[in-house]
Amino acid sequence: MSRILSQLRRSGLLAVCAWALLQASAHAQLTIEITGAGANRIPVAIAEFGGDPAASGVLTSVIRGDLERSGLFKMIDTSGVAITETTPPNFEDWKSRGADALAAGSLGSSADGRQEARFRLYDVARETVLGGSAFVTSKAMLRAAGHRIADVIYEKLTGEPGVFSTRIAYVVRVNAARYELHIADADGQNSQVALISKEPIISPSWSPDGDRLAYVSFENKKPVVYVHSLASGKRVVVANFKGSNSAPAWSPDGRRLAVVLSKEGGSQIFLVNADGAGAQRLTSSSAINTEPNFSPDGQFVYFTSDRGGSPQIYRVGIDGGDVQRISFEGSYNVTPRISPDGKSMAFVSRRDGGFRLSVMDLASRQVQVLTDSYKDESPSFAPNGRMILIATEAGGRGVLSAVSTDGRIKQRLSISAGDVREPAWGPFNK
């Protein structure tokens, strides 16, 4: 467990084989299995969108799939009912079907010749309109439009922003000689390959604006931190000092990264500018200090250290100074990740012989174990803080799991042809 801790003790082994943004093959798409759901799901009816049946069918399917996978909604059967955003709904009919909310819409032509997806959301019990929107789209972007509509519905019904239109990054071990860094929609579709290597790829990290990805490559026979622009495919070296350079984590303003460097002896936490300049040391210890993560306000860096004799979680201010221990329950706690609201911390703890995702309320220091698996690693919060994405194992293969912060809602994301590791959930789209 905590592969990064062990990797800091090893020399570099990676060699990048290609750098391109390539469309992944169909077999590399993630498939999602719902393994748990909320206790009280909201009954929602998503009527078939009007317009071209094939195109509108894609739109409707994406919306339904997003809401159902969230674990917060129960899909109501809409068969035999044709309704668009301009058709007054028969509320009594929808009440009899058990729906609390109804979404109806259509896909038509926009003024510029493209397609426009329009919808309305209704409160069935109160017989009122909750909201609606219109999104200009194209055939190639129908799934994206569906995700955006699902986000609107989610926020109207829960009060929280939806994350269906966000992206995730992860690493696929295709075979012993091929590893791929993927970028995909939050539902695992539209996967693209950003990096191909003969050796493992580690520590992808999203910039706050979602335009860049930091990662660690060993192409120079040592670990080096790069930042990759997703739009251009270009990358810059951020940390290539003597010794090890690893574990990049972005500051909330996107101007700096926390990295682990051994250039001055041991593994220490440093801050560097996003262009690699201005390295500032934060920790001074003979112990291994690794896995940094910023607090949302940018004032602290949380990290893993074995300075107390076993791996535990600490934090230090961005100007250095005193180090504060955060975790005390148990002998092994690693990989701190702070929630977007700054109120809780996800981490991996050793329990009953396994390594399990846990979450701590930072105010009360109360800890809740969220999984019953044995090889959890690499937690990453969704940008709304509702779910945590992790890597784990199932059936002897690496898979991803998404778990709600209360542990009730669970999803499993897997690929038929490979192990999946090193997940990172991207920010809200601009």
Q: Which of 114, 132, 158 is the last residue of a domain?
A: 158
Write down the pLDDT at residue 38: 67
Give me the CATH number covering residue 296. 2.120.10.30
Q: Do 400 and 289 have their domain in common?
A: yes
Cα–Cα distance, 237 to 294 (Å, whole number): 21
36 within domain boundaries: no
Cα(3)–Cα(224) distance, rounded to whole angstroms? 17
Instruction: Evaluate whether residue 131 is within a structural domain.
Output: yes
304 contacts: CB under 8 Å, gap ≥ 6? 2, 5, 288, 289, 290, 291, 311, 312, 313, 314, 333, 334, 335, 336
Residue 416 falls inside a structural domain = yes
13 & 78 share domain = no
* pLDDT at residue 267 in the model: 95
Tens-digit pLDDT string for the chain (430 aa): 444 334 433 323 233 333 333 444 444 678 878 777 766 899 999 999 999 999 999 999 999 999 999 999 999 999 878 789 999 999 999 999 999 999 999 999 877 778 999 999 999 999 999 999 999 998 889 999 999 999 999 999 999 999 999 999 999 988 888 889 999 999 999 999 998 888 778 999 999 999 999 999 877 788 999 999 999 989 999 999 999 999 999 999 999 999 999 998 889 999 999 999 999 999 988 899 999 999 999 999 999 999 999 999 999 999 988 999 999 999 999 999 999 999 999 999 999 889 999 999 999 999 999 999 889 999 999 999 999 999 999 888 899 999 999 999 999 988 877 899 999 999 998 7
Residues 274 and 401 in one domain: yes
- Residue 135 has what pLDDT? 94
pLDDT reported for residue 285: 87
234 and 136: one domain? no
Q: Which of 158, 191, 222 is the last residue before a domain boundary?
A: 158
CB of 122 within 8 A of CB of 101? yes
Cα separations in angstroms, 372 against 120, 328, 355, 403: 40, 21, 9, 11
Q: Is residue 335 part of a domain?
A: yes
CA 121 – CA 109 distance, rounded (Å)? 21
Distance between first and last Cα of the chain = 35
Same-domain pairing of 93 and 202: no
Angle at 129 between CA 128 and CA 131, to 5 degrees: 155
Report how far Cα 334 is from the mean position of its chain's Cα atoms.
18
Please say whether the dihedral angle defined by the alpha carbons of residues 23, 181, 404 and 342, taken in this order, is positive or negative: negative
pLDDT at 198: 83
Q: What is the CATH number of the domain that holds 63?
A: 3.40.50.10070
Same domain, 141 and 271: no
The predicted-structure confidence for 201-233, as pLDDT tens digits, reads as follows 899 999 999 999 999 987 778 899 999 999 998
Q: What's the number of domains the chain is made of? A: 2
- What is the CB neighbour count within 10 angstroms for residue 242? 10
Q: Give the sheet arrangement for strand 354-361, strand by strand.
A: 333-338, 344-351, 354-361, 367-369
Angle between helices 53-69 and 142-158 (to 10 degrees): 40
Residue 430 in domain: no
Query: Does one domain contain both 170 and 150?
Result: no
pLDDT digits (tens, 9 = 90+) for 318-356: 998 899 999 999 999 999 999 999 999 999 999 988 999
Q: Which residues contact 248 (CB under 8 A, 6 or more apart)?
A: 203, 205, 214, 215, 216, 225, 227, 238, 239, 257, 258, 259
What amino acid is encoded at 106 in this protein? S
Evaluate whether 337 touches 378 at the Cβ level (below 8 Å).
no
pTM of structure: 0.91
| Residues 114, 180 share a domain | no
* Residue 141 located in a structural domain: yes
Same domain, 9 and 94: no
Rounded Cα distance, 160 and 27, in Å: 33
Q: Are 96 and 45 in contact (CB under 8 A)?
A: no
- Asked, for residue 237, whether it belongs to a domain, the answer is yes
Residue 351, beta-bridge partner list: 354
Q: What residue numbers bound the domain in which 79 lies?
A: 41-158
106 CB neighbour count, 10 Å cutoff? 21
236 and 213 both lie in a single domain: yes
Same-domain status, 138 and 187: no
Q: Which two tokens stand for residue 335?
A: 């990989």
Residues 149 and 183 grouped into a single domain: no
Q: Which of 158, 176, 197 lies at the terminal end of a domain, its last residue? A: 158
Residue 212 lies inside a defined structural domain of this protein: yes
